[in-house]
Amino acid sequence: MAVAPRLLNLLLVRGSRVGRIVEVEAYRGSADPASHAFGGRSRRNATMFGPAGHLYVYFTYGMHWCANVVCGEVGVGEAVLVRALAPVAGVGEMWSARPAARQERDLCSGPAKLCQAMGIDGAHDGLDLLAAGGAVQLLDDGTPAPRHPGNGPRVGISKAADRPWRWWVPGSAHVSPGRR
């Protein structure tokens, strides 16, 4: 979880589409009742227990994909959910992928929205975000993480909802509405 705020301001790259990470949430394996990894490894969450730097994509509510960056050691099951991006490049493609968006800030201001905009789905589960030439990559363009990131409770969970494991870039218009 210590690494979660350090993901802020990194770039998520998928082909010509690029977004800057502006909101994340940490999920801590077996120590965290809200985590998919709570209760051990299973078919769906296997990627969480793999090497750090890989992409964990899961399907939820019968229609949505969400993307996480695996952050723990092998066998631990820690991951960080990417909740929002600021579009940087390929914005036209994002609009095509997300006809429901009304304003640019709606393109990637939510975990399922950004997967839609970026074209990320279950086919990308388990791939290495740090490998050169990968379909989805995590890059550092030199922009440092905020010195004092926003910090507060996680969103959309019923268990352990009080743990302040959500971080965001203060003031970013692309953070989920009502949460910046």
Partner DNA sequence: CTTTGGATCGTCT
Partner DNA sequence: GACGATCCAAAGG
Q: Interacting stretch for DNA, rule CB under 7 A, among 11-19, 53-61, 89-97, 131-139?
A: 53-61
3-class secondary structure, 94 = helix
- The answer to the question of residue 9 lying near DNA (CB under 7 A) is no
Residues written for the chain: 180
Beta carbons within 8 Å of 68's beta carbon, 6+ residues apart: 27, 48, 55, 56, 57, 58, 79, 80, 81, 82
CB of 74 to DNA, least distance (A): 17
What's the closest the beta carbon of residue 140 comes to DNA, in angstroms?
22
Residue 105 interacting with DNA (CB under 7 A)? no
DSSP 124: G
Q: Are strands 150-152 and 166-168 parallel, antiparallel or unpaired?
A: antiparallel
What is the separation, in whole angstroms, between the first and last Cα of the chain?
Answer: 20
Number of residues that bind DNA (CB under 7 A): 38
- Find the binder of DNA among 66, 71, 86, 136 (CB under 7 A): 66
- Which residues lie near DNA (CB under 7 A)? 25, 27, 34-37, 39, 42-45, 48, 56, 58-64, 66, 68, 79, 81, 98, 100-101, 106, 110-113, 155-158, 176, 178
